């Protein structure tokens, strides 16, 4: 249970970092993190491996399966709920991205 | 990707996915329920849902239960005695009737029969999952074929989505057109769970193929537990109290207080089999009077045992099993959305024709009926099965429960064939049964029970299903139109 409680927010964070790394025209789902940085990018690339090692350390073989099952569930929850989050931030963020690109 | 290849892949994905999607939906749904076999059994038999005691069974209970086992064996019935566990804290004196495991339930402390009615239990869903309740080998053939088509559908779907796999990984647009919403949902679920679907589907396919190979070319050895369902010799082996106690003590030394093992005849002597939850790799190990210790444990002796461990997950903890069950339901969502997309695209295709022929009309109606009977009819029949285990049965209980399940499922198909409003009516029935399950549960079991969380979870799941149907009905075009008319009148 503890592994799951650690894994779910971790997958959520990885998902948000991933969304943030997408170019604005691809980013249909709003995301409230600050603008993408190399640090965030390395987070979403290294995150799954860290989560895998952590879950194996905490729950052994059970942890590996927990890692595998929790990823799609958290992804779907993020994918479905994010479009309903308030849009205010997103517009601002998209605008700032657009401005910075120019 | 060339347009030609894309068209070929789309045709393969659609025409392999839709017909076999029906079977895959059944497999995912029943697989999710089969993960919780003992819990389902306890919900159906509330008298047996007792609080697990510590230790799980008493010496008196074990001796008395072994006497009952001996009596069954003397009668010539090939029974086995399942020991109490945390998940199912009673003795089960079960035999296999060709489809399910059934038999009396005995109290863990006294070993005396509990006043429970015979129910189909959790093994009903396991059988439906493994062989679709069809005779051997047809059921196995069909499920193996469904597994193969799952692989084809996954590969073709992945290939189609490969270019947009990473950029659109979490893409869902709820404010887009209805068809786009369903496509996004299908892709969101499909792409995120593709590794799990490959592993679970692939392991299931390998297991069924191995079963089929065993059927075609049976193994030569005969004194193995594999042929436990065959009739045994008329003379039952001596089962003394001393032997039972010694085997139980040996088992406790070797695999602790895990419980969940079972006593069964192996050849000419009584054996105590280790619980399935003991190791990742599932293979039957037993101790007998002549072989009191388990053989040294190889990590995974056969490839078959590895696949069993991956597919059945009996060794896994409660949370992992819950997530496994949820993943099965996610599979249902992916397949259901795929069927919805197929129907929509077929309808769009027909809209381009000036005149629709009668055969095209019938074909379209058949697709719709099959989809409805699968997506709504199967959960409806399942809920009805749950209800039937708690209500008085006009026929022998198991016959009545099985009959009701398959009749209701068949009727939902027929109704979907003849009525245009079938979806709405099936949703209504699902909603009523789902939301009413809690009431039925409270009315037909003692209020104070040893495992309130179990009943609460099953009732909550049924209520969620009912709630989802209520929401679907509220947003159904029929009611949406009525609401719009009312609003315009105001």
**Domain residues for B409?**
353-490
Chain B residues close to A18, C-beta within 8 Å: 169-170
User: Are residues B393 and B449 both part of a single domain?
Assistant: yes
Rounded to the nearest angstrom, the minimum Cα separation between A76 and chain B is 7
DSSP-based helix, strand, coil % in chain A, nearest 5: 80, 0, 20
Is B60 contained in some domain? yes
pLDDT at A102: 45
Residue A99 above 50 pLDDT?
Answer: no
A and B: number of Cβ contacts within 8 A: 75
pLDDT at B97: 87
Q: Which residue, among B200, B113, B116, B109, has the nearest Cα to B150 in the 3D structure?
A: B200
User: Are residues B474 and B358 both part of a single domain?
Assistant: yes
pLDDT at B340: 93
Q: Do B188 and A75 touch (CB under 8 A)?
A: yes
Is B343 contained in some domain? no
User: Are residues B482 and B432 both part of a single domain?
Assistant: yes
Phi and psi at residue B264, to the nearest 5°: -155, 155
**What residues form DSSP beta bridges with B263?**
B81, B272
Q: Which of B168, B170, B320 sits opposite A75 (nearest CB)?
A: B170
Domain tally, chain A: 1
CB contact at 8 A, B436 and B444: no
Is B262 contained in some domain? yes
Q: Which of A48, A76, A85 to mutate to test the interface with B (most CBs of B within 10 A)?
A: A76
Residues 294-333 of B with CB under 8 A from A: 313, 315-317, 319-320, 323-324, 326-327, 330
Give the three-class secondary structure for B355: coil
The span from the CA of B235 to the CA of B321, in Å, is: 41
Rounded to the nearest angstrom, the minimum Cα separation between A12 and chain B is 11
Go through B167-193 and write b for each residue having 16 or more CB atoms within 10 A of its CB, e for each that does not. Answer: ebbbbbeeeeeeeeebbbbbbbbbbbb
Query: Could you tell me if the ipTM is greater than 0.90?
Result: no
Is B444 contained in some domain? yes
CA angle B314, B316, B320 (to 5 degrees): 120
Is B381 contained in some domain? yes
pLDDT at B390: 92
pLDDT at B281: 85
A38-82 per-position pLDDT tens digit: 888 888 889 899 999 999 998 888 899 999 999 999 999 998 888
Nearest chain B residue to A79 by CA: give it. Answer: B170
Chain B residues close to A80, C-beta within 8 Å: 172, 174, 188
CB contact at 8 A, B94 and B79: yes
Is B172 contained in some domain? no
Tokens 């509330």 -> residue: B46
User: Are residues B241 and B364 both part of a single domain?
Assistant: no
The 3-state secondary structure of B190-231, one letter per residue:
HHHCHHHHHHHHHHHHHHHHHHHHHHHCCCCCCCCHHHCCCC
Residue A98 above 90 pLDDT?
Answer: no
**Domain residues for A57?**
2-101
The span from the CA of B369 to the CA of B380, in Å, is: 15
Residues 6+ apart with CB under 8 A from A22: B167
Domain tally, chain B: 2
Name the pLDDT band for A27 (thresholds 50, 70, 90): low
Q: Retrieve residue B341's tokens.
A: 């997309």
User: Are residues B300 and B357 both part of a single domain?
Assistant: no
pLDDT at B228: 46
Boundary-marking domain end, from B312, B341, B363: B312
Q: Do A65 and B313 touch (CB under 8 A)?
A: yes
Phi and psi at residue B443, to the nearest 5°: -80, -25
pLDDT at B400: 92
Neighbours of B200 (CB within 10 A): 24
Q: Retrieve residue B7's tokens.
A: 């068209």
DSSP-based helix, strand, coil % in chain B, nearest 5: 65, 5, 30
Give the three-class secondary structure for B272: strand
Q: Which residue, among B452, B440, B468, has the nearest Cα to B39 in the 3D structure?
A: B452
The residues on A that touch B, with CB distances below 8 Å, are: 1, 3-4, 15, 18-19, 22, 26, 28-29, 59, 61-62, 65-66, 68-73, 75-76, 78-80, 82-84
Is B422 contained in some domain? yes
Is B25 contained in some domain? no
Name the pLDDT band for A96 (thresholds 50, 70, 90): low
Q: Which of B317, B318, B327, B331 to mutate to test the interface with A (most CBs of A within 10 A)?
A: B317
User: Are residues B303 and B407 both part of a single domain?
Assistant: no
Residue A97 above 70 pLDDT?
Answer: no
Residues 6+ apart with CB under 8 A from A62: A3, B316, B317, B320
Q: Do A29 and B169 touch (CB under 8 A)?
A: no
CB contact at 8 A, B65 and B58: no
CB contact at 8 A, B212 and B360: no
CB contact at 8 A, A40 and A29: no
Eight-class DSSP state of B110: T
Residue A101 above 60 pLDDT?
Answer: no
Chain B residues close to A1, C-beta within 8 Å: 319
Tokens 């597994």 -> residue: B147
Indicate the burial class of B373 (C-beta count within 10 angstroms; 0-12, 13-18, 19 or more).
buried
List chain B pLDDT tens, one digit each, 490 residues: 888 999 999 999 999 999 999 999 999 999 999 999 999 999 999 888 877 777 778 888 899 999 989 888 888 888 899 999 888 889 999 998 888 899 899 988 888 888 778 889 889 999 999 999 998 889 999 999 999 999 999 999 999 998 888 888 888 888 888 889 999 999 999 999 999 999 999 999 999 999 999 888 887 654 444 444 444 555 667 778 888 888 888 888 888 776 678 998 887 788 889 888 888 888 788 888 888 888 777 678 888 889 999 999 888 888 999 999 999 999 999 999 999 999 999 888 888 777 788 888 889 999 999 999 999 999 999 999 999 999 988 888 889 999 999 999 999 999 999 998 899 999 999 999 999 999 999 999 888 888 889 999 999 999 999 999 999 998 877 777 777 788 887 7
């Amino acid at each position: 249970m503890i592994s799951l409680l650690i894994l779910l927010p971790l997958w959520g964070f990885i998902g948000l970092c991933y969304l943030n790394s997408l170019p604005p025209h691809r980013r249909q789902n709003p995301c409230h993190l600050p603008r993408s940085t190399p640090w965030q990018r390395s987070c979403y690339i290294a995150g799954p491996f860290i989560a895998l090692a952590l879950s194996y350390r905490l729950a052994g073989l059970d942890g590996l399966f927990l890692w595998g099952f929790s990823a799609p569930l958290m992804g779907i929850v993020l994918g479905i709920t994010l479009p309903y989050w308030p849009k205010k931030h997103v517009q601002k963020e998209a605008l700032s991205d657009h401005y910075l690109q120019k | 990707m060339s347009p030609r290849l894309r068209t070929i892949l789309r045709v393969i994905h659609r025409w392999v996915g839709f017909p076999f999607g029906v079977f895959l939906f059944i497999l995912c749904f029943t697989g999710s329920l089969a993960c919780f076999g003992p819990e389902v059994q306890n919900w159906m038999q509330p008298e047996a849902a007792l609080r697990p005691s510590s230790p799980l069974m008493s010496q008196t209970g074990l001796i008395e239960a072994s006497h009952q086992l001996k009596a069954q064996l003397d009668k010539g019935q090939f029974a086995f005695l399942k020991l109490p566990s945390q998940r199912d804290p009673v003795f089960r004196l079960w035999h296999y009737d060709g489809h399910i495991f059934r038999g009396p339930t005995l109290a863990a402390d006294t070993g005396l029969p509990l006043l429970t009615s015979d129910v189909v239990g959790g093994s009903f869903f396991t059988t439906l999952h493994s062989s679709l309740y069809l005779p051997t080998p047809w059921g196995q053939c069909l499920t193996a074929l469904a597994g193969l088509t799952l692989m084809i559908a996954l590969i073709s779907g992945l290939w189609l989505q490969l270019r947009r796999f990473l950029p659109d990984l979490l893409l869902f647009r709820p404010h887009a057109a209805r068809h786009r919403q369903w496509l996004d949902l299908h892709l969101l679920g499909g792409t995120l769970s593709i590794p799990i679907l490959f592993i679970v589907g692939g392991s299931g396919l390998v297991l069924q193929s191995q079963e089929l190979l065993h059927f075609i070319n049976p193994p030569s050895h005969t004194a193995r537990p594999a042929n436990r369902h065959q009739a045994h010799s008329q003379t039952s082996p001596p089962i003394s109290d001393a032997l039972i106690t010694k085997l139980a003590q040996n088992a406790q030394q070797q695999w602790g207080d895990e419980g969940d093992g079972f006593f069964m005849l192996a050849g000419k002597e009584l054996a105590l089999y280790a619980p399935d939850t003991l190791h990742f790799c599932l293979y039957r190990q037993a101790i007998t009077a002549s072989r009191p210790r388990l053989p040294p444990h190889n990590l995974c002796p056969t490839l078959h045992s590895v696949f069993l461990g991956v597919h059945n997950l009996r060794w896994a903890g409660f949370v992992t099993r819950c997530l496994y069950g949820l993943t099965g339901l996610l599979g249902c969502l992916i397949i259901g959305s795929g069927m919805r997309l197929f129907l929509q695209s077929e309808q769009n295709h027909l809209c381009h024709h000036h005149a629709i022929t009668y055969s095209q009309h019938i074909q379209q109606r058949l697709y719709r009926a099959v989809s409805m009977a699968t997506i709504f009819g199967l959960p409806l029949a399942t809920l009805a099965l749950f209800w039937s285990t708690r209500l008085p049965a006009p026929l022998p209980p198991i016959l009545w429960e099985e009959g009701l399940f398959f009749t209701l499922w068949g009727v939902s198909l027929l109704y979907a064939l003849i009525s245009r409003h079938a979806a709405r009516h099936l949703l209504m029935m699902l909603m009523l049964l789902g939301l009413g399950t809690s009431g039925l549960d409270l009315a037909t079991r003692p209020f104070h029970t040893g495992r309130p969380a179990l009943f609460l979870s099953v009732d909550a799941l049924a209520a969620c299903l009912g709630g989802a149907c209520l929401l679907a009905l509220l947003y159904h075009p029929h009611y949406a139109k009525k609401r719009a008319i009312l609003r315009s009148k105001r």
